[in-house]
Structure 1
Amino acid sequence: MRILIIGGEAAGMSAAAKARRLAIDADIVVYEASEVISFGACGLPYFVGDEFQEPGYMAEFTPEQFAAKGIEVKIGHRVLSVDATAQTLVVEHNGDTFTDRYDRLMIATGAREVMPPIPGLQQQGVFGLRRMADGLALKAAVQDKNNRRAVVIGSGFIGLEVVEALVHQGKEVRLIELADRVIPDAFDGEITQHIETELREQGVSLHLGERVEALLGDGRVTGVRTSQGEYEADIVVVCTGVKPNTDFLANTGIERLGNGAIKVDRQGRSSLANVWSAGDCASVWHSVKQQQVYVPLATIANKLGRMVGENLAGAEQEFPGTLGSAALKVLGLEAGRTGLSEQEAKAMGIDYRTVVIKEKCHTNYCPGQSDIHVKLVYEAGSKRLLGGQILGRKGAVHRIDALAVAITMGVTTEQLGMLDFAYAPPFSRTWDALNVAGNVAK
């Protein structure tokens, strides 16, 4: 059996490693367009912010290490097309093309940045942050003392992490967001208002409800023009979302979501025979929504990649589903979310209720006591938990994991109110913030 995998990052390499352990006689080849494999892009903002200095930490393994395990990894090889009938690929390397055939194929091509349709993006001093090369280039620019003024466009997870990195590097930071609040797709307003306050208190110039119209300059960026004014800039970082890397599949007939993500079932199978997919290029089953969604997270890519590896080797494993659980650190704050936000529940037409509480993270006689904010979304009749969001200072975000377990197990707010959470004065109060939220829910 010949297994080909397109894409050598989280999902692809997880699948290759698992398939190798189970299908010991199979030929396994991974085609990766870049020069780096097993790359964790999540570390890029922290590399830029000098949390660590060695970029190699973000690439966990090398092609040579996989070769020693019997997995052939071909870097610098871009797959141009797939013929699902003949079960072949056309691959480009150094200007030459060749054809390879497969018995089973996995597509794990990830996602690319979505750039806004504005002039000036090709100038020096304008950066994205998706690849290793992006991180190296941005870090070099940040270390230049002449680059004092930075503008970040977009306030999603990466945008906010980049803002934190630039603040840590002593830059004058301006954040521009088209929506009327930060990170609007992941968190509700009761949580984002505290993030916005933290940004302003840390000296970030926050521009909400403002559209970027052009990047100014003559070969090198000097500023940004928006719907409300012009601002000087030495560095501009564009963080306006991602799009699945699936354009090369346009002629295959493979089923895709509206944004181009490959539609897969709970086994990771696509609509094409003998073709699986996982990671940021594919859909994933949402266990609360009970439908396929697009949630490009590293945790999902690794889990689904591993499962697809089993299925490439002949198993029929099914993914139980995602909750879209995610966490964020913004300067002194931590925030986590899982399950449905209120805006998602409303869009689905669910009869839901919410509760928002402010509690303390631990007892008052231990140093460092601070506020912790909890929002629960739950079904009106049954009181079954549908989603939750948490914000606070150090250590607050880990409580989101307890909520993820509770949602997965169908816990109600009443049950949450009496769950037996660990207690010690430095860590919590006798009634944890999650207990309090569950008991306040009506």
Structure 2
Amino acid sequence: MEKNPKIVVIGVNHAGTTALKAIMKTNPNAHVVAYDRNDNISFLGCGIALWVGREFNDSKGLFYADKEKLTKLGVKVNLNHEMISYNGKAKTIKIKNMKTNEIITETYDKLILGIGSWPILNPGGKEIPGLIAHKDGVIVKDELNGVKLTNGIHLSKLYQHAQAIIAHLSKPEVKKVVVIGAGYIGIELVEAFYKDKKQVTLIDFENRIMPRYYDEEFTTDVETTMKKAGIALQLGETLLEFITKNDKVLQVKTNKGTYDADLVIMAVGFLPNTTVVKDESGKPQITLDARGAIEVDQYFQTSDPNIYAIGDCINIRSNAWNRNVNIALATNAVRTGLVAGINVTKTNPKERLVFPGVQGTNAISVFGWKLCATGLSELSAGAILGKDKIEAYFYKDTVFPPFMAENHEVKIKIIWEKSSRRIIGAEIGSTHDHSETISMFSLAILKQVTIDEIPLIDMYFLPHFNKPYNFVTAAALLATGVLTKEDVTYPDPYTPGKKK
């Protein structure tokens, strides 16, 4: 590449911000221009529920970068500017200034797309009556969301969404909240509204919460605690309609009931925000997968070698699935931005950084439970790879020897492939934090460690931290059948809630 290449980055959040920093650190002479349709960058959307739940009052901590910092690195940052089309052959893009509506043509040598994902508004491909505001039979447009939602219905992704939720929640008439979607965002917001002493109903078409992340042995614990807290779990119900009056939501209707609502959260998932890469006929100009995510290689190049793609808008190599898949996580976005930012200025293939893939490692802390997982759950692995091709072992134990005054329980499940014996997933749950252990399993999946090797990993023992056979070693030994439960279990009179 020439000494002073012009690189245009579209989207300046987790992936884009990291890519920009990587470009400027590895090639300070690069001519870099960035555009984002929002008026802020680097917002930690995972902190919305904490903010709504009044865990803190100053939202400044939810941002870790700003326009000024990137400008000092040499990046020309343009906020409130949206990419509306591009021409790969001419290497040009059309950019709209969202404040003035002026449209400009930008040129590039290399283009990095960090265009992200957007909340699903039509679950199952069905339009939901009452969700989108209409005036005289015409959909009302909205600069933030594209379309205006009926008053009282909110999305949860952007800083502005959080502001709107908090402002609405502060109104004294808001007493009943309905959350649609029992994934991470939905569950975290349910807890936030509960802490704010609201009457909360959770609706999902699945029969249990977080079914794609955790197996039933873990989700049942959280569901039980939620029910005790008074949360109405309306699971196994399909959203049909929002009942409204004067452009204000009043009720949420499913196939099994109707629920009063003063405030509604629409949190049924996300899809890659890739409409902009399609031409006027709707044909993609770069290769997309069935979900609409951009296909990339191990360097994050798309089917157009002059265009890279990063973050939530791409499919990414999963070492558990053993193929590319769309996994929208901020941690993944940061890593993709780093690799693409380094590679975009490299002309010698030998100098390029190869992306090793991800495991989809994640965690959640809600209603007193701390769950973490990596790779595939047993249910997901069975559906993806085939039930007859995988094995799993679930184990529950106390963490410390019985003579320790403080103790608690921990649950673990390990999932592996029958033929290769390689680890493809793990889940851990407790009322205490054991999330660091899941990082070990993430590395195990990356390095194709087998279930037979887990008991041989050099893990320390000290009563302050664990047992001679800690819960990981014990689970693996029992899974392989090398020892029995009688062999690995420390005689344990521990009773929850009691000190010895």
- Spell out the pairing of 1:325-340 with structure 2 (5 A cutoff): 325-340=361-376
2:118 maps to which of 83, 96, 112: 112
CA contact (8 A) 2:185 2:267 kept: yes
1:101-120: CA deviations, max 9, x gaps?
00000000111100132122
In structure 1, runs of 5+ residues without a counterpart are none
2:102 maps to which of 96, 103, 110: 96
Comparing 379-388 with 234-243, greater Cα deviation is found at: 379-388
Q: Percent identity at matched positions? A: 29
CA contact (8 A) 2:215 2:377 kept: yes
User: Which of the pair has more CA radius of gyration?
Assistant: 2
Residue 367 of structure 1: CA displacement?
5.3
1:260 maps to which of 289, 292, 296: 292
- Spell out the pairing of 1:10-409 with structure 2 (5 A cutoff): 10-93=14-97, 94-116=100-122, 117-121=127-131, 122-218=149-245, 219-251=247-279, 253-314=285-346, 315-346=351-382, 347-349=384-386, 351-366=389-404, 369-409=407-447
User: In 1, distance between residues paired with 2:272 and 2:57?
Assistant: 30
Aligned residues: 442
Residue 426 of structure 1: CA displacement?
4.2
CA contact (8 A) 2:319 2:445 kept: no
Residue 424 of structure 1: CA displacement?
3.7
1:277-322: CA deviations, max 9, x gaps?
1100111111232211100000000011011000112142111000
User: In 2, distance between residues paired with 1:361 and 1:233?
Assistant: 43
CA contact (8 A) 1:84 1:273 kept: no
User: In 2, distance between residues paired with 1:280 and 1:298?
Assistant: 8
Comparing 75-84 with 414-423, greater Cα deviation is found at: 414-423
> In structure 2, what is the equivalent of residue 429 of structure 1?
467
User: In 1, distance between residues paired with 2:470 and 2:169?
Assistant: 41
**Helix, strand or coil at the partner of 1:413:** coil
Residues 82 and 368 from structure 1, CA distance in 2 versus in 1: closer, same or farther, beyond 3 angstroms? farther
User: In 2, distance between residues paired with 1:62 and 1:222?
Assistant: 39
Matched letter for residue 390 of structure 1: I
**Helix, strand or coil at the partner of 2:410:** strand
Matched letter for residue 112 of structure 2: M
Matched letter for residue 129 of structure 2: P
CA contact (8 A) 2:212 2:380 kept: no
Comparing 117-126 with 7-16, greater Cα deviation is found at: 117-126
User: In 1, distance between residues paired with 2:84 and 2:213?
Assistant: 34
Residues 2 and 381 from structure 1, CA distance in 2 versus in 1: closer, same or farther, beyond 3 angstroms? closer
Residue 189 of structure 1: CA displacement?
2.2
User: In 2, distance between residues paired with 1:140 and 1:78?
Assistant: 27
Matched letter for residue 364 of structure 2: L
Matched letter for residue 279 of structure 1: G
User: In 1, distance between residues paired with 2:42 and 2:120?
Assistant: 22
